Structure 1
Amino acid sequence: MGKVSEPKLGDKREHIAYFTMEVGISHHIPTYSGGLGILAGDLLKSYADLRIPIVGVTLLSEKGYFYQKVDSEGNQVEQPVRWTPSDFMTLLPNIVSLDIEGRTVKIRAWKLVVKGGLGGQDIPIFFLDTNVDGNSDYDRTLTSFLYGGDRAYRLAQEMVLGIGGVRMLEELGYFINKYHMNEGHASLLIVELVKKTSLLLKDTKVGSESWNEVVGIVKDKCVFTTHTPVAAGHDRFDVQLFRKITNNQVPEALLQGAIHEELVNMTLFALNHSKYVNGVAKMHGEVTKEMFPGYTINAITNGIHSGTWASPPFKRIFDKYIPGWSADPFSLRYAMTIPKEDLWSAHLEAKKILMDEINQRTNLGFQISRFTIGYARRFTAYKRPDLILFDLERIKKVAEKVGDIQIVFAGKAHSQDTTGKGIIKKVYQIAKSINSQNCKVKIVFLDHYDMRLANILVAGCDVWLNTPQRPYEASGTSGMKAALNGVPQLSTLDGWWLEGHIENLTGWSLGPHPSDPGFKEDYDPGDEANDLYVKLEKVIVPAFYGNQEKWVDIMKHCIALNGSFFNTHRMAEQYIANAYLD
């Protein structure tokens, strides 16, 4: 039996569906925890700009991830986020339901419209919500907390996203040609697609020719993006718990190859049933192949939405010298023609915004004229936020020798990541100590990290620091945001930086180079810290204080080379060409 006839990409009835556990559209809508959600929001914005027929599906997370406070001892305190969905979204009357552990759980949806830029079109994102009359008190909370609760809660959330999301799109009248799963959280949509497709064919008994055809049809519809080379980042559920929560609705034949050591691996489940699979940087694609041998893993390097992450001062000079840059970020390669004095003035304006933010919060007296390093992202062990603080006496000596250094930290640790919380406390207490000394180094940790603060940080620093342990950084995007605003990166060679790094032109590297014999081996953190101090003392800080013309030339190259390429417009076009079109 042949495939069911369906419209091709471009048919007015046809859409792509992008499923993601979290999405970051605005700091006012706290339905994101970090890079995964920000990336999803940026990509959906580019799809709107490019007039791609797509819909987003996510969870409402009505109590957000968490509001971060850091107390006087440096302890992270998680507080509920208070926001009102009706201020930003429209509640739809449609209701669908699904079976979770034998209970009927009702789901409604809120619709948020993402407006495309000049020449673009509006696209919807549907936020699924189980806080519905008739649901149990527990089930009403399933869309309350992003990444909250125990394993049973998480699996129930993934059922709402995957199975409930497909049912809601059908209820709303969408014809979906491709289902893009942003991480394994959404992979249970495969179960619903198999069920739906089975109704179109006869004799779909498991193992039959017709069953195999159903599975093949579903696979042709599915695209899967994996984001982490860290084993703990791949969702796995005890097989007995899985069967209990799903109420045995998942055919065992679908789970073949996804169960290992009595755990259902949601990444393997998605890999087994997706026609196109990709990692999020070239190196990450290779690492993923090693993690999951036997699968075809492609690579589409992440990017950022230029219109979102260019700071106001840089938007103004881009508008003046590169008209149309936000609709065509590739045109940012013409940043080389921007007068140096205008670029430097824009940087100082962006830096003043950051200095004002710091001084209003802390009264530490951070100054625009002083060399400023920024570090902001999730605080967890493999990202090594504290590497620059490895030898405090050394960093103080560097500042004494070549000039004042200001370091700005920000970022959240997962509520259950005690190691990450410990690093925040360590950084906070070191900052407290060093700021009380009469030295040329100042350090600050800014709490309540969100999209608003991130926007200020990536544009307002002089150098962006990134120190992950190789090869655990899948991509990273904060350095791309910095580059868009003319801020060079100092980073270990991992993730996207292997593609964006040109020494002394777009930034600087730490640790071994891929051509070095020991690149894939463990590298002593003390050696990498030493590399960091040497680069600061011998190259970076002297250039900042002593050669402004050279520094601004580096800023231009950051924008022209990295800002023009590492964007979600390019990503979107790659997904269309490689993943969505048959």
Structure 2
Amino acid sequence: MTATDTTTDFDGRIAYYTMEIAIDNALNTYSGGLGVLAGDTIRSMADMEVPAVCVTQLNEKGYCRQTLEEDGSQISEPDPWPVEKHCDRLDVETTVSVFGRDVTVTAWRYDVESTKSDGVVPIIFLDTNVDDNDDKARQFTQRLYAPGYGEDVTLAQELVLGIAGTRILDELGYDVDTYHMNEGHAAFLTTELLQGRGLSPEQVREKSAFTTHTPVEAGHDEFDWVMVTDALGPSFDVDALRAYSHDQGLNMSLLALHLSGYANSVAKKHQEVSQNMFPEFDIDAITNGVHVPYWIGDAFGDLYDDHISGWRENPYKFKHATVLPDEDLWEAHQAQKRETIEFINEREGADLDPETLTIGFARRAAAYKRADLLFYDTDRLREIAETVGDFQVIYAGTAFPGDENGEQKIRDVVANAKDLEGVVDVEYVQNYDMELGAKLTSGVDVWLNNPRRPLEACGTSGMKAAYNGIPQFGTLDGWWVEGHIEGETGWKIGPEPAESTPDQTSDEEETRQDAMALYDQLENEVVPTYYDDREQWIDVMRQTIAFNGPYYHTRRMVREYLMDAYTN
């Protein structure tokens, strides 16, 4: 990488803005699915030689290093990473007014280089930790989502991303045709185009696209108008922004929707939810995907090389997975499973058995994802293990620091694991990251995902598992509504999806029904098929690849953005 060619050799027609990105396990610049999707998107843009540039904040102190106490209580610490080792400092700076003072913003560059083409997509990391700034301003880009810093710092982070990020691109000479906001955090870029460049609202819409990932109203950032006025200062016409939000405050998703020529959700079901939430806007659906070569384990990579040539460049060829021989498919799976079990046992001092049916559950520890649903009735769970067949469960996931509901879910899993000791082995693996995610989605037997419907916008962990021949076992929400064929690509938990408006109230009856459905499927389908009908289990693995493989990849997803979002 060099910093000298940034202004001369690249026509950055698409600028992709994201608050977080998971691009390398050594760069702690992400918290979960939003960042992982961003990383996969940029990898595929590089593979496809899409003229793009990515803008994000540096997050030099990372997001959260998780350690768990004996009772499962989460200890959350900063997780710094060596910026100079991975990025090049750029000779560029700009200023943005934040709460009455000019904040200096500099930048670093990290190049995402394709291993399959000559494509390169630069990531521009924004940095306010410079001598010109006061102590608080230097914190703005240091810690992702500023846990414990206060809402004013969150607002400041979004001002830096949207406004300073756009000015930095201008300073670097990028000629941007489309500004793509990956969630509402970057929506202030529209105000920079409006008031900084003097574009009309229509001109801004022609240059802007917005992707929403949040099916819950409370998850859309909103700031009180008084705080917004104080943050932007007297030179900014805050009153002009009121037309793009509502009286309660500046809602970042509303701002983005009002000033984007194209908006999309991240799954077909999520489109219904988003349309109900924002009925005055047209919201399309582009279902998320994953960067296939990154998430496929070595044994499956070799298997596909032997039987499905060209799959890396053209994932549509996974339709030919129907030809995969039983023995080769099972041997590849067992090789990756043994590797994963060995990795977990060594890392956690566990004693998991590679011959036992292994269930994987790994995702951000949020209450609606219901990590503890499996333990609703531990007597029933114990009975299944003792009378039908052994199984073991591997959990991983970090709660947002200070999210008591999410942290309690981890404690609940750990407590139930102790209660079931000797009957069902349950291991909660600490400090979930990209490396652990890749191990789990390539090396368990079945992928469990049971969020409350319809609160899962998409979810991509099950897609990663599918490319490794691992069927999903889950509630019909997010992508699984589209990828599910009962008994062919996995097994559903609970009823078909119906209601499109999220219900934030506690629903004990829904939980009970889903838990009973989970146990019924585990007892009657999942466990007996694994142990008693290995031929059928392998056929489910094969169908999982053949049906879901051709579609749930970021090459297809980026192509849809090129056709629909970037051609306003």
Do they superpose with TM above 0.5? yes
Say if 1:375 and 1:465, in contact at 8 Å, map to a contact too.
yes
Say if 1:428 and 1:445, in contact at 8 Å, map to a contact too.
yes
Give the aligned partner of residue 559 of structure 1.
Answer: 545
Give the aligned partner of residue 482 of structure 1.
Answer: 465
Say if 1:98 and 1:163, in contact at 8 Å, map to a contact too.
yes
**RMSD of aligned Cα (Å):** 1.9
Q: TM-score, normalised by structure 1?
A: 0.92
Distance (Å, rounded) in 1 between the aligned partners of 2:106 and 2:536: 56
Could you say if the C-alpha distance between residues 369 and 147 of structure 1 is closer, same or farther in structure 2, counting changes exceeding 3 Å?
A: same
Could you say if the C-alpha distance between residues 335 and 467 of structure 1 is closer, same or farther in structure 2, counting changes exceeding 3 Å?
A: same
Partner AA of 1:499 in structure 2 = E
Alpha-carbon offset, residue 14 of structure 1: 5.1
Alpha-carbon offset, residue 399 of structure 1: 1.1
* 2:285 pairs with 1:286: no
* 2:445 pairs with 1:462: yes
Could you say if the C-alpha distance between residues 262 and 518 of structure 1 is closer, same or farther in structure 2, counting changes exceeding 3 Å?
A: closer
Distance (Å, rounded) in 1 between the aligned partners of 2:286 and 2:490: 22
Could you say if the C-alpha distance between residues 482 and 296 of structure 1 is closer, same or farther in structure 2, counting changes exceeding 3 Å?
A: same
Distance (Å, rounded) in 2 between the aligned partners of 1:81 and 1:146: 10
Partner AA of 1:179 in structure 2 = Y
Give the aligned partner of residue 155 of structure 1.
Answer: 155
Q: Which moved more, 1:285-294 or 1:249-258?
A: 249-258
Say if 1:512 and 1:518, in contact at 8 Å, map to a contact too.
no
- Which of 94, 97, 100 in structure 2 is aligned with 1:96? 94
Say if 2:27 and 2:81, in contact at 8 Å, map to a contact too.
yes
Distance (Å, rounded) in 2 between the aligned partners of 1:367 and 1:410: 18
Partner AA of 1:154 in structure 2 = T
Give the aligned partner of residue 3 of structure 1.
Answer: none
Alpha-carbon offset, residue 120 of structure 1: 4.2
Distance (Å, rounded) in 2 between the aligned partners of 1:391 and 1:117: 48
Give the aligned partner of residue 544 of structure 1.
Answer: 530
Distance (Å, rounded) in 2 between the aligned partners of 1:301 and 1:406: 31
- Secondary structure in structure 1 of the residue aligned to 2:210: strand
Say if 2:229 and 2:238, in contact at 8 Å, map to a contact too.
no
Distance (Å, rounded) in 2 between the aligned partners of 1:341 and 1:254: 65
Say if 2:62 and 2:143, in contact at 8 Å, map to a contact too.
yes
Alpha-carbon offset, residue 406 of structure 1: 0.2
Say if 1:258 and 1:266, in contact at 8 Å, map to a contact too.
no
Give the aligned partner of residue 105 of structure 2.
Answer: 107
Give the aligned partner of residue 505 of structure 1.
Answer: 488
* 2:410 pairs with 1:424: yes
Could you say if the C-alpha distance between residues 517 and 445 of structure 1 is closer, same or farther in structure 2, counting changes exceeding 3 Å?
A: closer
Say if 2:181 and 2:210, in contact at 8 Å, map to a contact too.
yes
Give the aligned partner of residue 208 of structure 1.
Answer: none
Structure 2: 5+ residue runs without aligned partners? Answer: 1-8
Could you list the per-position Cα deviations for residues 115-145 of structure 1 after superposition, in whole angstroms to 9, with x for gaps in the alignment?
A: 1132341110100001112111111111001
- Secondary structure in structure 2 of the residue aligned to 1:176: coil
Distance (Å, rounded) in 2 between the aligned partners of 1:454 and 1:359: 15
1:190-209 matched pairs, under 5 angstroms: 190-198=190-198
Distance (Å, rounded) in 2 between the aligned partners of 1:488 and 1:326: 21
Give the aligned partner of residue 388 of structure 1.
Answer: 374
Give the aligned partner of residue 39 of structure 2.
Answer: 41
Could you list the per-position Cα deviations for residues 402-461 of structure 1 after superposition, in whole angstroms to 9, with x for gaps in the alignment?
A: 1101011100000121011011011112212322x4x2x111100110000000011111
Distance (Å, rounded) in 1 between the aligned partners of 2:70 and 2:194: 53
Give the aligned partner of residue 222 of structure 1.
Answer: 208
- Secondary structure in structure 1 of the residue aligned to 2:420: helix
Give the aligned partner of residue 4 of structure 1.
Answer: none
* 2:347 pairs with 1:361: yes
Say if 1:197 and 1:218, in contact at 8 Å, map to a contact too.
no
- Equivalent pairs, count: 555
Distance (Å, rounded) in 1 between the aligned partners of 2:153 and 2:501: 43
Distance (Å, rounded) in 2 between the aligned partners of 1:504 and 1:412: 31
Could you say if the C-alpha distance between residues 222 and 519 of structure 1 is closer, same or farther in structure 2, counting changes exceeding 3 Å?
A: closer
Partner AA of 1:88 in structure 2 = H
Distance (Å, rounded) in 2 between the aligned partners of 1:248 and 1:333: 59
Alpha-carbon offset, residue 91 of structure 1: 0.6
Q: TM-score, normalised by structure 2?
A: 0.95
Give the aligned partner of residue 398 of structure 1.
Answer: 384
Give the aligned partner of residue 125 of structure 1.
Answer: 123
Give the aligned partner of residue 5 of structure 1.
Answer: none
Partner AA of 1:19 in structure 2 = Y
Alpha-carbon offset, residue 260 of structure 1: 3.2
Could you list the per-position Cα deviations for residues 276-332 of structure 1 after superposition, in whole angstroms to 9, with x for gaps in the alignment?
A: 000000011111110011110100001111011111111111122222211111112
Q: Which moved more, 1:279-288 or 1:512-521?
A: 512-521
Give the aligned partner of residue 77 of structure 2.
Answer: 79
Give the aligned partner of residue 336 of structure 2.
Answer: 350
Give the aligned partner of residue 173 of structure 1.
Answer: 173
Distance (Å, rounded) in 2 between the aligned partners of 1:231 and 1:156: 21
Alpha-carbon offset, residue 82 of structure 1: 2.6
* 2:130 pairs with 1:144: no
Could you say if the C-alpha distance between residues 388 and 189 of structure 1 is closer, same or farther in structure 2, counting changes exceeding 3 Å?
A: same
Give the aligned partner of residue 411 of structure 1.
Answer: 397
- Which of 472, 476, 488 in structure 2 is aligned with 1:493? 476
Partner AA of 1:360 in structure 2 = E
Say if 2:454 and 2:500, in contact at 8 Å, map to a contact too.
no
Could you list the per-position Cα deviations for residues 141-164 of structure 1 after superposition, in whole angstroms to 9, with x for gaps in the alignment?
A: 110010112110001000110000
Say if 1:375 and 1:410, in contact at 8 Å, map to a contact too.
yes
Partner AA of 2:91 in structure 1 = P
* 2:363 pairs with 1:377: yes
Alpha-carbon offset, residue 342 of structure 1: 1.1
Could you say if the C-alpha distance between residues 248 and 378 of structure 1 is closer, same or farther in structure 2, counting changes exceeding 3 Å?
A: farther
Give the aligned partner of residue 7 of structure 1.
Answer: none
Give the aligned partner of residue 295 of structure 2.
Answer: 309
Distance (Å, rounded) in 2 between the aligned partners of 1:224 and 1:311: 33
Give the aligned partner of residue 203 of structure 1.
Answer: none
Distance (Å, rounded) in 2 between the aligned partners of 1:21 and 1:504: 38
Distance (Å, rounded) in 1 between the aligned partners of 2:144 and 2:365: 17
Distance (Å, rounded) in 2 between the aligned partners of 1:280 and 1:251: 33
Structure 1: 5+ residue runs without aligned partners? Answer: 1-10, 199-212
- Which of 211, 222, 225 in structure 2 is aligned with 1:236? 222
